[in-house]
Amino acid sequence: MRLFFKGAMLAASLSFLPARPASAYDMDCAIMLCMAGGFPPGAVCTAAYAEMIRRITPWPSQPPFGICSFAAMPVAAGGPGGAMDLDISGPEYDWLRRSRVLWFDGQSHETREEPRQWNWNIRSCDHENSTCHDLARVHGSHAPWPASFQSENDQTLDYPGGGISFFRRAVMVEYGDYKGTMGHSQWIHY
């Protein structure tokens, strides 16, 4: 009984100390976890989506997500202790490595001697936003860019809209969830 009262007194005295915030996953972990679920509605995933878009929006552009650092299992529980980085090289993270950053650049011009011509380019970069290549590069077309194109992940994606414009640049993220279902962000004009 005496021990119960001592415990109650200790708990009561600790309750007057200022509360410390609980540590949470870092933003990269939140982006990956929310992406795995297809960015479900909620405060955490809304913030993670906004951060992913902020990172890819120029300049300087960053990868949509980085290294997820998380608290490792404590040594007492048989783990390594401390903090470690999430290794996404295994086959269970194929869905994450399929993420692509897509860049669009399009212009239209007209000279006195020739009819209006259209130029456009779609670049696709890996999930680290480092290894890039052209999906489409068209110069001197007498027709505007088409309504949609095929991505490397076999999605039919619309070209960026926004009304009649003779110059347009935009960026988007194409991502998959843990089941392999592909999704994408909206085009972000810059």
The pLDDT tens digits of the residues spanning 15-45 come to: 343 433 333 458 888 999 999 999 999 999 9
Q: Phi, psi at residue 83, to the nearest 5°?
A: -115, 150
Check residue 83 and give its pLDDT. 62
Distance, in Å, from the CA atom of 168 to the CA atom of 130, rounded to the nearest integer, reads: 22
In whole angstroms, what is the distance from residue 120 CA to residue 131 CA?
A: 20
Which parts of 35-155 are beta strand (E)?
69-71, 83-85, 100-109, 117-125, 132-141, 148-150
* Radius of gyration (C-alpha) of the chain in whole angstroms: 24
For residue 5, pLDDT beyond 80: no
The pTM (predicted TM-score) of the whole model is 0.74
> Which of the two residues, 104 and 162, has the higher pLDDT score?
104
pLDDT in tens, 38-75: 999 999 999 999 999 999 987 778 889 888 876 555 55
In this prediction, residues 99-116 reach a mean pLDDT of 89
Q: What is residue 13's predicted lDDT score, i.e. its pLDDT?
A: 40
17: tokens are 């100390």
Q: How does residue 184 score in pLDDT terms, banded at 50, 70 and 90?
A: very high
Question: Would you say residue 79 has pLDDT above 80?
Answer: no
